[in-house]
Chains A and B, each alone.
Chain A
């Protein structure tokens, strides 16, 4: 006779083991993610300062928005939500994210299409495009800062030689070009990642579809719009959301390439500045809480609208 109680026992044993296996990871993630996040949100409702971490008192929403009536009857609004520097940072972040992810997607898809074709030396080309990805962000920021140098930079030299520019421009220092400089470096560095994700998506499309289209004499552009793009779309959606989330929190590239430039200061940069450099710990906490909220809303919207299946379960 088959012993059912023993089988149940085994299943229960497995579940108990699973719990013990998961516990250390969950505790670790709680300590480094959930708890600090909750503390940040808490700090944003206090007047805590960097030098007096435990002396902060609850002040409600004052870091976000505060209405104060002067004795003369004039009403003054204060807080992050009416801070032009904050809104400038929000605008910079959004602008940077949308433009960089757009170009990275277009270029990434283009490179993926090239790499998906069979040609001699394909392995070498794939290795070459991995190099920008492998270089640390700080190093690429410094490399490009040197190349974009106004006097001795090679980019200005190239552009002057081929006649696009009359004389060199101060890419990173000038307020008009600082964002362009940041975008160039970010697109250069992150397009390979996008290309690899797109390539993985492309390689899952069965080749016979293309054969059939070729026999039917369908124009290659039509093949791209009607076959390739719809089929690669799920992979592309996931790649875009990953990149978008990464772009929204950008810090290091901007901190190093264009320090203190108003034209490129993003939400992460301005939050850290307030948190650490300006000793407005609570105010910076409020700003980073807002950034977190914006990203959370964005993710929910995206998953909801795009019906992205992030877990990869149930569609195998």
Chain B
């Protein structure tokens, strides 16, 4: 196969574009990793390639005040939030996708509406509720408030997923006399696992990254989640921003996410697009 010069130009142009896209996508993260391995004053020299390999910043972060505690907080809060949302969402999505009842569309639109909510609009009310329940400055404040975005999202995605399951499997179970609860646990659950993993992962990422509620509903350093800890990481003095440790902390909390996302790439793309683009 021979190509004309024009075709060659187009081909090179196309791959140049691809390279630009890839470089812009990964360069900032690459640069954060590069910076995190620099020690002392080397951080103030601009390098494009790795020159230094020092784990000093990582030691500073890990031994520093409360960073590990923040990671544990974040894991706990995100995990509990996701399990709770999935539990409530599985039964609700079954009802929304398989049973016909009046007001179903309205309910679905309302749920979608809640996920589009500006979180600031509920901040004052939630603040009062959290104070009232006595869970201010505890992980439960975040578990409660994160439900506002994890629950609508999981319900929405699982509903679209269950709607596409063939009706026959369910009919067979009904003829055998299975109750709705049995249909969910015995018939649907085995089919739902892949969707649950994807939705759970996406909801986990959402909870892991949340900032506004975590910033507002915690006061002591030991209760902070990872994003708040990174945002408020300060150095010995006010003026001195500890860029090295900040980059090391950023890399620590981002690498697991990036690995998860790369492993579940296809499923995540499917889960994200199930949210809206169906028509």
Contact = CB atoms under 8 A, between A and B. Distances in A.
Interface of A: 10, 13-15, 17-19, 21-22, 24-26, 28-29, 31-33, 35-40, 43, 53, 111, 114, 117, 119, 121, 123-144, 146-147, 149, 151-154, 157, 188, 192-193, 196-197, 199-201, 234-235, 238-239, 242, 245, 248-249, 251-252, 255-256, 267-268, 271-272, 275-276, 281, 284-285, 288-289, 291-292, 295, 299, 309-313, 315-316
Interface stretch (B60-68, B92-100, B192-200): B92-100
A37 B148 CA distance: 11
B203 interface: no
Given A15-B101, A188-B28, A25 B22 contact: no
A196 B269 contact: yes
B129 A36 contact: yes
Contact of A17 (B31, B181, B272): B181
B124 interface: yes
B39 interface: no
4 closest cross-chain pairs (CB), A and B: A36-B125, A39-B125, A312-B278, A17-B180
Interface residues of B, number: 96
B257 interface: yes
A199 to B, nearest CB: 8
A130 B270 CA distance: 13
B44 A152 contact: yes
Given A131-B29, A196-B273, A40 B261 contact: no
A40 B212 contact: no
Q: Is the interface of A mostly helix, strand, loop or mixed?
A: helix
Contacts of B75: none
Nearest to B121: A292
28 contacts: A17-B180, A18-B99, A21-B91, A21-B184, A28-B147, A29-B151, A29-B152, A32-B148, A36-B128, A43-B128, A130-B268, A132-B25, A138-B209, A138-B227, A138-B231, A139-B227, A142-B247, A143-B28, A149-B243, A153-B46, A196-B272, A197-B272, A249-B117, A251-B119, A255-B215, A272-B216, A285-B124, A292-B118
Contacts of B28: 132, 140, 143-144, 147, 188
Contacts of B131: 53
A39 B272 contact: no
Nearest to A151: B44
Interface of B: 14-15, 17-18, 21-22, 24-26, 28-29, 31-32, 35, 43-44, 46, 48, 88-89, 91-92, 94-96, 99, 101, 105, 107-109, 111-114, 116-129, 131, 144-145, 147-148, 151-152, 155, 160, 174, 179-181, 184, 205, 208-209, 211-212, 215-216, 226-228, 230-231, 243, 246-247, 250, 253-254, 257-258, 260-262, 265, 268-269, 272-273, 275-279
A148 B253 CA distance: 21
A32 B273 CA distance: 26
A255 B216 CA distance: 13
B25 A295 contact: no
Contact of A271 (B31, B120, B243): B120
B46 A152 contact: yes
Most A Cβ at <10 Å: residue of B25, B212, B253, B269: B25
Contact of B124 (A29, A39, A242): A39
Contact of A291 (B88, B92, B120, B145): B120
B122 A146 contact: no
A194 B6 CA distance: 31
A38 B29 contact: no
B156 to A, nearest CB: 10
Nearest to A296: B113
B18 A24 contact: no
Contacts of B279: 234-235, 238, 309, 312, 315
A248 B119 CA distance: 11
